[in-house]
């Protein structure tokens, strides 16, 4: 992925795994429960299949997401959070609450 780097603070390290446009949303969605590929695609409106699988793979590599493959026809793959992923989601909750609280203000600023 990226070259080895030293993080100057915890925020830096945290953003290395949840940064970008989609990962925080994926984390939140998977925190609601186990999800299949297609469910995630519909939940994150606007994401392309490429980005979805790419973000999922990176989160799997980072140990946040577990991928369970069922060898059936048609194929079925279920994604869920690991304990590590759940701990991250818990740490993001205050931030989510803050965003919820100031949602309207932020939307207006970015109009």
Strand extents, DSSP E, the chain = 35-36, 65-70, 76-81
Q: Is 107 in the site for its own copies (CB under 8 A)?
A: yes
Phi-psi region of 50 (alpha: psi -120 to 50; beta: other; left: phi over 0): alpha
Residue 4 interacts, among its own copies, DNA, none and using kind-specific CB cut-offs from 5 to 8 Å, with: its own copies
Distance of alpha carbon 103 from alpha carbon 16, whole angstroms: 24
Q: Is 11 exposed, middle or buried (0-12, 13-18, 19+ CB in 10 A)?
A: exposed
Residue with Cβ nearer DNA (31 or 53): 53
Q: Is 83 in the site for its own copies (CB under 8 A)?
A: no
Residue 28 interacts, among its own copies, DNA, none and using kind-specific CB cut-offs from 5 to 8 Å, with: its own copies
Q: Which residues bind its own copies (CB under 8 A)?
A: 1-17, 19, 21, 24-25, 27-28, 44-45, 61-63, 84, 87-88, 90-103, 105-107, 109-111
């Amino acid at each position: 992925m990226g070259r080895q780097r030293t993080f100057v603070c915890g925020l830096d390290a945290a953003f290395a795994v949840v940064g970008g446009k989609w990962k925080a949303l994926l984390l939140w969605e998977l925190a609601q429960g186990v999800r299949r590929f297609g469910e995630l695609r519909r939940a994150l409106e606007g994401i392309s299949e490429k980005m979805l699988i790419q973000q999922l793979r990176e989160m799997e590599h980072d140990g946040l997401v577990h991928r369970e493959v069922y060898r059936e026809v048609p194929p079925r793959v279920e994604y869920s959070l690991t304990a590590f992923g759940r701990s991250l989601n818990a740490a993001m909750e205050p931030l989510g609450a803050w965003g919820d609280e100031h949602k309207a203000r932020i939307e207006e600023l970015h109009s």
